[in-house]
Structures are given as structure tokens and as C-alpha cells.
Chains A and B, each alone.
Chain A
Amino acid sequence: MGTMHIDGHEIPFQENDNILKAALAANIEIPYFCYHAALGSLGACRLCAVEIAPEDPNKKPRVVMSCLEPAKDGINVSVSAAAARQVRQTVIEFLMVNHPHDCPVCDEGGECRLQDMTVACGPPYRRYRGRKRTFTNQYLGPLVHHEMNRCITCYRCTRFYQDYALGDDLGAMRLRNEVYFGRFQEGPLTSPFAGNVIEVCPTGVFTDAVFRQHFARVWDLETAPSICPHCSVGCNTLPGARDGTLRRVCNRFHPEINRWFICDRGRYGHQYSEHPDRPLTAQVSGVKVSYREALAAAAEQIKAARDRTGGLGSTREDLESNAILQTLLNKLSGRFATFSDPQLETATTAAVAALQSSGGAPSLSEIEQADAALVVGDLTTHAPMMDLALRQAYRTGAKLAILHSGPSLLTRFAATTLTVAPHEIGAHLLHLNEQAATASTTSNKHENEKKLADIATYLTTAQRPILIGVSETMAAPEITALAQLANALGSRARLAYALPGANAYGTALLTPTNSTTAMLEAIESGQIQTLIVMGNDPLGDTRLGARWREARQCLSTFIVSDCVATATAEAADILLPVAAWTERGGTFVNYEGRAQGFAPVFQRAEPLPNTAEVLADLAHCLELALPDAAAVLSNIFPGYQAPLPGTLGSSLSAFPLTMQTETPIGSAPLGHPGHWQVTLASWYGDDVLASYAPALVELAPPAAALIHPTAALKERIEDKEQVRLRGPAGTVVLSVQLNNDVAADTIALARVTLAQLGVGHGDLLELERIS
């Protein structure tokens, strides 16, 4: 938009840029602390001083803060001017007055902005002769470690935590040189994005408490561009490893996805790869064997079974492994499926089909720009960073509406929250479709009708409305209904689904229609004798685990490859441990259909093969000629080129999936006396891999039966009362927790409870009082 001069260089700037922002964009370094690209200018640290030459030569030059000073056409700015340098040097001297001089024992060492700025600007000697101020640190939970003495009071942490992420339990307290950044009382930070304070804090106040348990100097870490495996958002990460073990995961900037931040599931979920129970040695019938021996045993069984072999891929396995497994099964004339639950299969494929025909999901940075949004389900716990993107939209005035059956953190920011039982979601979506089409506003409506009318108004009057569905808790017809609503709103409206698994989109593209049901039936009828399960846990499935456990008895050989000790892995005849995500390269396709490559970060002392390699080795033993992953994938996706790790990713040219029709909306069984509908009460650390991360698991809410107070009153159930829940797979006794966010006739339960009972979201359940 204009050009200014900085120390003789011509620097372009955009409208509303300040000098600092424009300079950084042009790779001119101006020292700074409190400015942050996502958090903006504050003007507190006073380090970013520059000198501006006067327009009138008779006047004196001005020293200003470059983060607050608007860039103007033609101005002459100097970073190197003596007056500006003097200010920066004094600021550093002031900041070091109270900062401990113990960098050698500080966890931030090597990536500390205060160290860098002190070397860049500071005085080499200390002149202050007084005592340093000391603070007491707080226990902030298992994720973030606190060392307040290192604070330089840049306010970045609270600006991220409170202003950006809309958390409320970390803030600035007290005044003068005693401003304290912490919680009102000690205790775990509650925001799902808390870990980002580690990265926004320029010094060692907030550091990674998990990294700390097995610390390494950052300059000793091996790193490589990776992709978070913990949900379908596909945040870009930079894991760090040393001596053959993974130590930590940091954000890696992607301009359209996660940008500067990641969620705590993404930052701490990596502990699964160092879990003591992680399978590291191959096993045959429970006996540890070499990889080659296990492979040979598997090949022998498959050879015997041939077309009676089945293969179950996974939404958390990469694109390569799923494609190769599919190819292997083709060669064997066996059967291929990818989901453990047919409902999840139809819902996920319906979602991908809807995304394909809607012209693609918005990126997170586009979601941030929304001026109205409807979320169906609990977004925070299925795609945390999508929630953070919506919080940005909310901050700029977007109207958020939530349609769900249970608690959700986002409801705090919602203009309208409509809580209905799982079976009623579909009908409400259909109503909404009608409302959006007619824009009718009849008065005297039932409360829910009014809410629907409000939601319809937000969406129809918005310029950039976005509809987001959580596909795991939606049935295929509901997914379709949401897509139709997007369609009805016209091209302004964008559609997105949080999908179940980092590669759910890619896996869905490879999934044959109704393959899960067909697979289960084939096993149960004895048609499949040998099953290869790859990174999936059918035996631990919430709804169908019991059926799979029985089906497993029909198999003669159960071959499992995984990097975590699931129920399925434990039941394997032949177990083939594989490399974790940070130990291998591969490709995930995120919720947008964006294929992103990730690179191997490090090698374990005893390296494990990745899944694609296991399959290739298996094919080799079977004397089958399998093409390599690149060839397999370009066969499936015309013109496929593996996206390079560290790039922005690329979209796949995939054939359109067809929506699989299912029972239409409205035909779901209605609740009957004594029966409750089940909704999944998830939390932000809830994903298969992250459930092996001890620090996260420590924060999981205790299992309880969440019931709305009105429903409880009707059934004369009291808060904290013990009740017995009866499902197809078993009985569980839990204490009741009254919760206003749960729909009527609905009971919200944690994933572990669902698995114990053998029910899924939307199923019916019996509840009995114990008295």
C-alpha cells in the first residue's frame, strides 16, 4: 500500500500496518518482546524503539515504539540510530534487574527470546546493586511448569490465554514490579489450549512440564516437520527427539491451518509413543519373537487362507498404509474395510461425500473469518483447534449457535445453544432447513422453535456463515441434512465436518461401501479366517466391541499391527509393532481434504518398521508383487504426488464418493420408559493415541452419569446418587452428576463407559436406581 525507508532499505507496507509488522514481513529485525503476530501490539515492553527522522529538518528526530507507530509513506526509520539503541539497551538492563542470572539451569535455554535480545541489544555488565525480587511458583497441573522469577512482564501469556483463547483461570495479578502471572489458586490450567503459553512466553516462566521429565537441550533435539496425529484438523507440528526417544511436540506455523498454536492434545498426546506398555517386540501367540519370525508366521497363515483373508485399515493410519493394505487384499482377492463400526463408516463417508460436493471445507483461517456459525456436536473435543478458530470468529462478533445433546465448552460463547436428545438432532436440522428457506418468524413459538428461528436468522443474514458438524456423533442422514442446509444458504455458506481420525478423510476415500458390515458378517459366517488389523481397535469399539470380540473367536488367525497396546493388539495371535508417527514418514488427509506429508523425526535405538513397510514385507513373503506406495496412490488418485513434509499440503484429485443412504431422519426409535438416550461426553484429551499419554489422562474428568436436573427430578434421582446402567455388553455403576447442558431423556457418558456398556452415541440404555 505504501513504502517507507528503514535504514536505507525500501520497505513496503500494507494498510494499517505498524512499522514493526511491516519490517518483520520484510525480514528486517527490530528487537521486540510484547508484540506477537497473533496477539498484536501492546506497547508494554518498550524494546521495539526506532528513530524516525523529522519531516521538518529543523525538528529533532523522534524515538518511537515501532509496534505502535503506523507505517507511513516515505518516512525514514532507523533501527540502528544511537538514540534507539540506547533505549533498547536500557530496557534490557531494566528487564535483567530482577531476572535470575542462571540461564544454565533454565529450561528455556537455547530458545529464550530474552537471551537473544540481551545479546542483541543489551549492556554487557550489570550496574544494579540491589537485591532481586523473588516470587513463589504455582502448581499449574501436569502440562505446564511455572517459574515466575523469569517473567519479563510482556503480558503475552494472558493475552493469549484470556484474550485470544478465552480462558479465564490464568491472568495478571498485583502491580508494580510484582505483577504476577498465574492462577488465583494453584491447580491445573483448564483451557484446552493452555500449552501454548509455553511458546508465547518469551522466557522460561512457562515451560513444558512433560518435556521437563525427560529433558534435553533444544539444540540437541532432532526435529523434522510433522503432522499432528490426534484429530482430523491436521495441525503442523515440530516434534523433538533425542537419544532415540521423543521428548516434546511444538507448533509449526501453517498459514491456513493452525498458524501459531496447537491444542494440548496435540502437544502432549505424543506421550503414547513412550508409554511403558507400548508394543515394541513382535509376538506370536503371546511369545516374543523377531520381526522376521512374526512376518513369516503371518505369511504362512495368509497363504493358507488367501481369499479368506480380511484387512481392516484405520482412520488413524496414514494414506499409504491404507492404500497398500487395500491393494494387498485385492491381490489376495480378500476383503478390505476400514472402520470398526458401520455407523461410523456411513457417517464419515457421508461427510466426505458432502465436503466433496460442497466445494471443500474452509481452512481454520477461513473459519476465523466467519460471521455466523452453527456447530452440531461438541467441537472442542473432536477438533480442538477448529474450536479455537471459532473463538476468533466470536471475538470479532460472529454469532455462534450450537445444536447438541450434551456439554460443550463452546456453549459459553454461543448466542444460541439448542440442547436436544440425539434422536431429535436430525428433525431439528430439517426444521432449520425449512426456517432458512422461508425465513418465517411466527411469534408464540415453543422455546426450541424460537431458538431455531434465531439460528436461521444468524445464518441467513450472515455474509460468511459456516456450518460445522462433528461426524462421530452424527448419523449419516444428519450429515446430509447439514449439507443440505449449507446448500440452501447458497455459495456464501461453507461446510466443514470434524472427522474421526487424523486420516479419516483419506481413509474414507479408500473405503468400499458398507464394508464394515460385510466384513463382520464374513467373519461371523466363517468366510474370513485370517484378519489383518492395522492401527485399529475393533475389540475396543464402544458400540460393537463385544460383537468383534465374539467374531474374533471365529478367526483362525488374528494379525494386528499397531503402536499402542489396544484391546485388539492384546488379543492378537500375531502382533507386529510398528513405528509411531514421529518415527516414520507418511501422509494424512485432513478434514479439508488436504494431503499433508510428515517426515520421520528420529529413529529409536531399535527401529520399528512403519505399517506400509510391514505390508510390503508381508507381500514379499507371500511372493506377491506389490507396487510401492507412490505407485499405489497414483493409481488411485490421478496425478498423485506425495506432498512434501514442511509444505502447505495439496488436495487429492479423488473420485466423488456417493452418499450411502441409511434410515431416514425421523425413523429412529423413540425413547421409552426406563430408557435413556446416550450422548458421548468427551473431553479435549479424548483420542485413542492420547489416551496413552499419562499427563493428559491425569486431567480426564472422572467417569460419571451426567443427567439434566429436570430429568433427574422426574425420575427422583439425586445428585451424586449411585445408579446402575445396563447396556448390551455389560453393566456399570456410576454416580450421577446433574448437568444443565444435557438434553432431556439423555444421559451423557464418557467413552470408556460407552465401551463397557457396549453402546454408542444415540443408543438406548437402561438406568436403574440402587436403593
Chain B
Amino acid sequence: MEAVLTRHLDAHAPLSLQAYQAAGGYHSLDAAFDHKPEEIIAIVEAANLRGRGGAGFSCGLKWRLRGADAPRPRYLVCNIDESEPGTFKDRHLLYGGPHQIIEAVIVSAYALQAEQVVIFVRGEYGKGGHGLKRAIEEAEKAGLVGSNIKGSGFNLQIKVHLSGGRYICGEETAMLNAIEGRRPNPRHKIPRPSVKGLWQHPTTINNVETLVNVPHILLNGADWFRALGINGGCGPKLFCVSGMVQHPGLFELPCGTPARELIFEHAGGLAAGRTLQGFIPGGASTAFLLPEHLDVPMDFDPVAKAGSRLGTAAIIVLDDTTCPVQATLNLMRFFARESCGFCTPCRDGLPYLAQILTAIADGEGRAEDLILMEELCNTIGPQSFCAFAPGAVMPLTSSLQCFRDHYESHIATGRCPFDAANKSGA
């Protein structure tokens, strides 16, 4: 597949406004202003563009459900908080080509008839955020952002909000609180942000990768977009592969590309003599998959059917030298640390799980610990306030299933077999 989203990316020298325009950038604005907003929404819906932020909700449907008659002002929030471990796709988009993002939010805001865009950038992506701000200023000077853009009568303001830097800020309602200057706790989802979002006004939130597809869909059509995917997937997809592979990196490939191809072809496979123990398909908050799942197409529904989630399409690979208990503990520590502290099961349950996992990893586990962890997960996941906690327990519950023998041997022998093996091997 020819690169679509990554074609003009260059993190060291991102294209200037002129260079980007020369390469065909901002053409979609004319196409957009030739359409009625609801026509664009229909095209995006027909393209079956599913949200790239993790949940895979249909972008066009989300836009349509907000309603063309939503009261003004309306907001569009572009999510570049990207803090999911293993995920670095949005970072490439941000550092490599800010004008692509600006073009995308203009067209999307036009489709939504939103007059305000807030681009929420992960705190650690400060340089990228400043580059984006400079690019917005360029675009403003060129009349691409501001009032009556290209004589269309459409007015748009774009603001960049650099995050204070917490994982939970990526959750859409926590993000709204953060933008408003409040504690980034998630909000109760009734009413939805599309009804009462930023400052109680209708707000649409999309991941940046979702949005950068929109200009291409508009220029090339819904059918073109759908045809780009394979194995039932639609459109191009940014995949991150990391962990125990030879060439970790970002790959733009058809949505639906199997994990096997990603790991063994594009990421160079494992080190010599190693075998695959398992992998996480979609970033830290998705369930482990096993070698038997290597041929599952990396698309939303097939991965869900295999018992995990496509999430951010960030594969993390465990080879046979990686202790899955340690790996799971590592993730659990992350989630315990990043819990926003709002609701009890997540705030106090995750550190509890991390404590048990630590004990097992340190050889102090008890036989009843595995059942205890499962019992706790059964409450933490479903009974927490937001989607953070279900994601946080997913790696653990799946790890307990996929790698149970390893947990049992840690407990039975009082030590980590991988430690010993790795030490003697070293």
C-alpha cells in the first residue's frame, strides 16, 4: 500500500505551509467547501472510518449523532494525548507534519460546523505542540484559519492545549475538564459530551489519526478508502510494533494486516533463536494474545473476537525470555500510578493488584492469590467510573489465562524462572 497518512511526514524538517501546499496539502478545503457539511458526514460514514483513539466507534456516525441542529457554540477536540504504553503513532503525525493535522481539523470542523477547535497535546510532546502552534500561526496568516476561510463564510479558531501530562487526560471527558482548567477526572457520561461538553456546549472528540483520514476520504471518496484495507478492514492504519523485535517502529499498512506480517516482516521478527510467547495487540490496556492469534487481521472486530481489542494498534511483543508476570506487573504499576483517583475500585484496587503481583514476582506469592486477583478484577473492571479501569485489568485477566503456568511456578518455587534463565544465559 502506498503511504497515505505518513507520506509527507518528516520529524526533522516538517513541511512548511508552502511546501505542504505544493505537495497537494490543503486542497481538501476547496473540496469541503463545495460540499454541504452533512454531505461530508455522510461520506465519512460511508467510508466506515472507525475511531483510531482506541474504541473504534464510527467517526461519521458520531458526527451525525451530534445533530446538525446542536446549539452553538460547538467544539471539536482533537486528541493527541497519546499516553498509552507502546503507542507512538500520533507523535509521528504531530512531529512529522503539523499542517496535515490542521487541514484535517479544518475540514472536520467544517463538517461539524464547529467554530472552535482545541487540539489537546500530550505534555511530553511539548516541542511537537509548539511546532503545531507555529504551523497554526502560518495557516492563520495565509487565511486558512480564522474568519471567512477562503471566502466560504466558515469561521474557525484553533487552540492548542498542552497537557499537564497524565494518562487519564486522554479520556475524553477528563480531557474536557483539563481544558476547562479543572481536575482531569472523567465526567459522568449522561449527558454525553456531544450534548454538554466543553463549558457545557456540544463537543465532538476525535483522535488525531482518525481526523487526518478525513481530507483523504473527501478527496478520494469513500470507496477508495474502504478498498485500502484488507481482510475486511477499511483504510490505512498506523501500527506501532515494539518489545522483543528486531526493528521496532511505526508502519502504515492496510487496516486488517495480520499481526504475523507486522511482527515478522515489518518489524524484523524476533532475535535469533527466540520464540514468540505472546503479544499485546493494541497498547497496554488490551488483552494478551498468543502465537495462535498471529493470523488474526489487525482490525477492530477480528481482534475483539479473539478476546482482545485493536485499541491503538500498538503491538508489544514478548519473546521466550520475557517473564509474563514481570511484564504484567510492569503494566499494572503503570495503571496504578496513572489512576486519576476518582473512584474507589480503580484508585485502591489497582495498587492492591500491583502489590499481589509484586509479591508473586518476588517469590512471595500465595496459592490463593490468583483467585483473589481474579475476584478483584471482576469488580474493578465493570464497577469503576470510566473506561480506564476495564482497560487496566485487561492485561492481567488475560495474562492470568494465557500464562497461568508461569504464575503457578512463581508461587510454587518462590522465584522467577526467567530471572535465573536470563542470568545464567548472560
Contacts and interface: CB of A to CB of B under 8 A. Distances in A.
A609 B344 CA distance: 53
B355 A130 contact: yes
A176 B341 contact: yes
A153 B342 CA distance: 7
A87 interface: yes
B405 to A, nearest CB: 24
B183 interface: yes
Nearest to B382: A63
B372 interface: yes
Given A43-B385, A46-B385, A177 B379 contact: no
B186 to A, nearest CB: 10
B345 A177 contact: no
Interface stretch (A92-100, A182-190, A264-272): A92-100
Nearest to B187: A43
A168 interface: no
B338 interface: yes
A53 interface: no
Given A87-B379, A129-B355, A130-B355, A175 B340 contact: yes
B376 A153 contact: no
Interface in A39-71: 43-47, 49, 63, 68
Contacts, number: 87
A29 interface: no
Interface in A123-179: 127-130, 152-153, 155, 172, 174-179
B347 A153 contact: yes
B349 A94 contact: yes
Contacts of B385: 43-44, 46
A705 interface: no
Contacts of A484: none
Contact of B383 (A46, A97, A178, A179): A46
A517 interface: no
Interface string B303-322: 00000000000000000000
Contacts of A127: 372
B166 interface: yes
A86 interface: yes
Contacts of A87: 379, 383
Interface string B331-367: 0000011111111110111011001101100000000
Given A49-B383, A86-B379, A176 B338 contact: yes
Contacts of B376: 90
A95 B344 contact: yes
Contacts of B168: 175
Nearest to B341: A179
A91 interface: yes
Nearest to B184: A175
Contacts of A47: 344
A381 to B, nearest CB: 31
A178 B338 CA distance: 11
Interface in B169-214: 183, 188, 190
Given A87-B383, A177-B351, A94 B345 contact: yes
A185 B168 CA distance: 26
B343 A46 contact: yes
B341 A153 contact: yes
A44 B344 contact: yes
Interface string A690-712: 00000000000000000000000
A91 B349 CA distance: 9
A44, A68, A127, A176: most-surrounded residue (chain B CB, <10 A): A176
A98 B166 contact: no
B347 A90 contact: no
Most buried by A among B340, B349, B383: B383
Contacts of A129: 355-356, 359
Interface in B370-426: 372, 375-376, 379, 382-385
A174 B341 contact: yes
Nearest to B335: A176
Contact of B345 (A91, A178, A179): A91
Contacts of A177: 336, 339, 341, 347-348, 351
B351 A97 contact: yes
Nearest to B372: A127
B212 to A, nearest CB: 31
Contacts of B166: 175
A97 B352 contact: yes
- Greatest chain A CB density within 10 A among B168, B351, B358, B382 is at B351
A127 B376 CA distance: 11
Nearest to B366: A129
A176 B392 CA distance: 13
Contacts of B375: 90
Given A90-B345, A94-B344, A129-B355, A176 B379 contact: no
Contacts of B183: 172
Interface in B264-295: none
A536 B164 CA distance: 58
B284 to A, nearest CB: 16
B347 A63 contact: no
Interface string A95-129: 10110000000000000000000000000000111
A176 B355 contact: no
Given A63-B383, A86-B379, A175-B166, A44 B351 contact: no
Contacts of A94: 344-345, 347-349, 352
A128 B376 CA distance: 11
A44 B343 contact: yes
B355 A46 contact: no
Task: Name the residue among A127, A155, A172, A174 with the largest chain B CB count within 10 angstroms.
Answer: A127
Nearest to A180: B341
A649 to B, nearest CB: 38
A87 B345 CA distance: 9
B348 A98 contact: yes
A371 to B, nearest CB: 19
A176 B337 contact: yes
A94 B166 CA distance: 23
A90 B341 contact: no
Contacts of B337: 176
A49 B382 CA distance: 12
Given A43-B188, A46-B383, A91 B344 contact: yes
A471 to B, nearest CB: 39
Contacts of A95: 344, 348
A153 B385 CA distance: 14
A177 B340 CA distance: 8
A175 B341 contact: yes
A91 B341 CA distance: 14
A44 B383 CA distance: 10
Contacts of B348: 94-95, 97-98, 177
Contact of A46 (B344, B352, B372): B344
A90 B379 contact: yes
B387 to A, nearest CB: 14
A95 B343 CA distance: 10
Query: By CB atoms of chain A within 10 A, which of B166, B347, B351, B385 has the most?
Result: B347
Contacts of A130: 351-352, 355, 358
B129 to A, nearest CB: 22
B124 to A, nearest CB: 16
Which 5 A-B residue pairs are closest in the complex by CB-CB distance?
Answer: A94-B348, A130-B355, A179-B341, A90-B379, A175-B341
Given A129-B356, A152-B344, 4 more contacts: A43-B385, A91-B379, A91-B383, A95-B348
Interface of B: 166, 168, 183, 188, 190, 336-345, 347-349, 351-352, 355-356, 358-359, 372, 375-376, 379, 382-385
Interface of A: 43-47, 49, 63, 68, 86-87, 90-91, 94-95, 97-98, 127-130, 152-153, 155, 172, 174-179
14 contacts: A43-B385, A49-B383, A86-B379, A87-B379, A90-B379, A91-B344, A94-B349, A130-B358, A152-B344, A175-B338, A176-B351, A177-B339, A177-B341, A177-B347
